[in-house]
Amino acid sequence: MSATRNESLDKALGGLLRTYRKTAGLSQSELGSRLGLSFQQLQKYERGINRVSVSRFCQIAEALGVNPHEILSEAISNVGIGAKGSQGQAHEGFFVQVASSKTGRRLIEAAAKLEDPKLLEALANFVSILAKHLKANPK
């Protein structure tokens, strides 16, 4: 795997950790305190500046109440590792950008609060239809 892809994976993983932390309603200081880390170190993990060891990653996932496999699978998928064809490569990094943006985090956090799976499915369908409409009818 190339250095660029390693960096993309580090950023994807960090962005997802940030999203899950915010969804859990925790500040960097609060989560850091639970883990015996400074908020600065957690911030470096979330930005992909410092790599997270496997054991530390599992501790963070556990503190967030999330299966580490879910987070890692999502990060790998977002970066397009193992993706076949140009579609996975064309979208490489897109999910990281969305999860890292303020608007994207708001959307993810709002969707995470939907307790009814049917509402979440309806939201996904709405966004999909909106995207198709905008693609077919550009400005």
Query: What's the confidence (pLDDT) of residue 28?
Result: 94
> Per the structure, how many domains does the chain have?
2
Average predicted confidence (pLDDT) for the chain: 81
Cα(66)–Cα(68) distance, integer angstroms: 6
* Two structure tokens written together for 94: 């897109």
Calculate helix-pair angle for 28-35, 39-47, nearest 10 degrees: 110
Same domain, 90 and 138: no
Same domain, 117 and 136: yes
pLDDT tens, 27-44?
999 999 999 999 999 999
* Two structure tokens written together for 59: 């501790």
Same domain, 55 and 91: yes
Instruction: Report, in this order, helix, strand and coil percent for the chain, each rounded to 5.
Output: 75, 0, 25
pLDDT tens, 54-105?
999 999 999 998 888 888 888 887 776 655 444 444 454 566 667 667 787 7
Query: What's the confidence (pLDDT) of residue 43?
Result: 94
Indicate the burial class of 80 (C-beta count within 10 angstroms; 0-12, 13-18, 19 or more).
Answer: buried
Structural domain span for residue 120 = 102-139
Same domain, 106 and 47: no
Same domain, 14 and 76: yes
DSSP state of 51: P
Same domain, 90 and 112: no
Domain CATH number, residue 45: 1.10.260.40
Same domain, 87 and 135: no
Same domain, 86 and 124: no
Same domain, 56 and 71: yes
User: Of how many residues is the chain composed?
Assistant: 139
Same domain, 89 and 22: yes
Same domain, 90 and 114: no
